Structure 1
């Protein structure tokens, strides 16, 4: 959960149905248990929530506070981060990493006057605190509207100047808001879980402006998908989890539109999951195929669904359009076109027929006389948007989150809003 929640956590149990109608109620109608912070000023925003899948403990990042609850929402531990010197005093990023070899909670944000990241013991978040050096630029601080989103996922082990795969490990992938020539931050980065040192990254200072807002990130199959709001339009960025390029040269963007001519373009949240048999039939896909569900808002909220086969094809068309000049893909205009600064590039292959090559994860063609190969493309945008019509509309509501499930062959979407209401779209 990456959107702010004021003062209370609620757990809901609902019955599923079929997309088509909308039922709504205050979240309190589904209240099973609740938590109210014991602090005097308890109506501070909860910015991030993480769950320990082994113990069921819940970790909350709030303003100058971290809370640890048990599975019944009883308070176990409170950590006072202190009065931060930055104007943004929120804890802006949390994740739990639970494997056979790694058991830790990672927090980033306000920490006694700085914005460093830390690792903590998930059993008791006040213990075994380790400050991670050189991490002040991971999260977007200062402007509370500028979010940082992250996900732990498998990625290829990477060594600088090597483009071969050395195996896979868990890494922390982060997408941050902001940018512009003066930015010291990174736009998208892959970090080691041991010390949060950057392994691969797209620097934010090659973005042409600072309007990029990273809203959500999803790991799906071989890719990471980053949902971006820019100038009140929505873009979907894609990188390969096992990209062999230090600067994620194969990063590609497509534009998402919801509604007639993209009339609803402000992305709020998204989810990738299957479709029930009825929705799958209407979309002409199998129930095994993935669907991207996205909620957009203006003065109301709109749910649009995109076939993942169409999403993936749009990315492929963008890459080959860039290389072959077919008009379906061009150099990304939001990333500097100065290639010496690491910016975007499209270049036709000058050595005859284009070789058979897996271009989706690298724009480099291996050459015998070059260790890094021939760079054919870097940072691409699709020229045509991927559009869909809303399958549901929730009037006069600004949505904040979405998750879907399938019950009895029907697709059900659960949507939360800024006013504490919960919608079952069936």
Structure 2
């Protein structure tokens, strides 16, 4: 992203997905294997799931528990993180809400955050019952209450034409939290050191105009970090340059995602970026090597999978940025982030 657009803090535009020949069936038709908590209280909610891309192991952050499964969903390890003590007759909930596998040449570890003290631990990636060390109170990481926090480890470096980071780059933990609004004392999106999880750059949450933002998923893709956000019954995709040098990520931009086939499923649940595959590529008239954004949306009582061409997603961001600068219909004024360069523009909608 060039310096000419770094002043654009937030703009929006909408993209939608329509794909023909989509088949549907009950979820049970696709069920390969499943995992149910073996604990006495099996109703303890799962908060976050992460996968080790090398071994296939799956890590689950749950209430009062951490689980490690193999690729067949067979339980390998369980960590009981305990219940929180009573304080002023109110029971604090021990939710393990941020769990990130760090699989890079310099480090092979698992970072878990949350719990009664809202702190973080570094654990053994092969055996989560081995708590390597406690990072102490890291209040900037896991959101309090039932609000989610999501994180991804990414390389902060210059990139070649294929989007591959150069060897001299450093890895950081990018975190997106929920909530916000005036008076918020935490960060909305931050870039954190892998050593002590301290923030290096961030977007403060107090620039959000209310506390409705829910950060549901985060992905590192080529030069950017993508954050999937639920806000006021709509879904937004935020993007920032992961090697941006400005202190508060003024390169941050948003577009709105819509999933509207056969109804409207507006709340994002999860997402993945990957190649199309032969059948899908043929139906969408693209190459099998072209990347797609797969996103799961829900709206009670149904859910949908929508697929977007990444080239269209990236073009939508560029159109939105240009529209904000030029004041065209693609730069839609917003009211949910103070200081947005598009907030006060008299734009055509």
Where on the TM-score scale, by shorter chain, does this alignment land: which range? 0.7 to 0.9
TM-aligned CA deviation for residue 26 of structure 1: 2.7
Query: Once the 2 structures are TM-superposed, how far is the Cα of residue 72 of structure 1 from its aligned partner?
Result: 5.9
Q: 2:107 aligns with which of 90, 102, 108?
A: 102
Tell me the residue number matched to 1:410. none
SS of the residue 2:324 aligns to? helix
Q: TM-score, normalised by structure 1?
A: 0.66
Aligned partners of 1:40, 1:209: CA distance in 2, in Å?
39
Equivalent residue for 1:121?
124
- CA drift of 1:253 comes to 0.6
Q: What's the TM-score once normalised by structure 2's chain length?
A: 0.79
Q: 1:23 to 1:262 in 2, by over 3 A?
A: closer
TM-aligned CA deviation for residue 49 of structure 1: 2.9
Structure 2 residues not aligned, in runs of 5+: 1-19, 86-90, 159-165
Provide the C-alpha distance between the structure 2 equivalents of 1:318 and 1:119, rounded to a whole number of angstroms: 39
Separation (CA, whole Å) in 2 of partners of 1:263 and 1:332: 22
Q: Distance in 2 between matches of 1:60 and 1:295?
A: 19
Choose 293-302 or 182-191, whichever is displaced more. 293-302
Residue matched to 1:319: 321
SS of match in other structure, 2:49 = strand
How many Å separate the matches in 2 of 1:56 and 1:206? Answer: 39
Contact conserved, 2:212 with 2:232, CA < 8 A, in 1? Answer: yes
* Residue 222 of structure 1: aligned partner: 223
Residue by residue over 1:139-196, the C-alpha shift from the partner in whole angstroms, topping out at 9 and shown as x without a partner, is: 12212xx211111111249xxxxxxx99521111111111111222211111111110
Show the counterpart of 2:65: 65
Determine which of 318, 341, 346 is the counterpart of 1:345.
341
For 1:251 and 1:129, locate their aligned partners in 2 and report how far apart those are by CA, in whole Å: 35
Please state how far the C-alpha of 1:67 moved relative to its aligned partner: 2.8
Find the aligned partners of 2:83 and 2:310 in 1 and give their Cα distance: 45
1:307 aligns with 2:303: no
Change (3 A) 1:124 1:246: same
Answer whether contact 1:318 1:383 (CA < 8 A) is retained.
no
Unaligned runs of 5+ in 1: 1-17, 158-164, 338-343, 347-377, 385-426
Report the structure number with the largest CA radius of gyration.
Answer: 1
What does residue 47 of structure 1 align with?
A: 47
Matches within 5 A, 1:347-386: none
Is the Cα–Cα contact under 8 Å of residues 64 and 91 in structure 1 kept in the other structure?
Answer: yes
Q: Give the structure 2 partner of residue 198 of structure 1.
A: 199
Q: Distance in 2 between matches of 1:121 and 1:25?
A: 34
Select the structure with the greater relative contact order (CA < 8 A; seq sep ≥ 6). Answer: 2
Number of aligned residue pairs:
315
Partner SS for 2:40: coil
The structure-2 alpha-carbon separation of the partners of 1:230 and 1:34, relative to structure 1 and needing over 3 Å to count, comes to closer
| Residue 262 (structure 1) shift | 8.3
In 2: Cα distance, 1:132 partner to 1:258 partner? 40
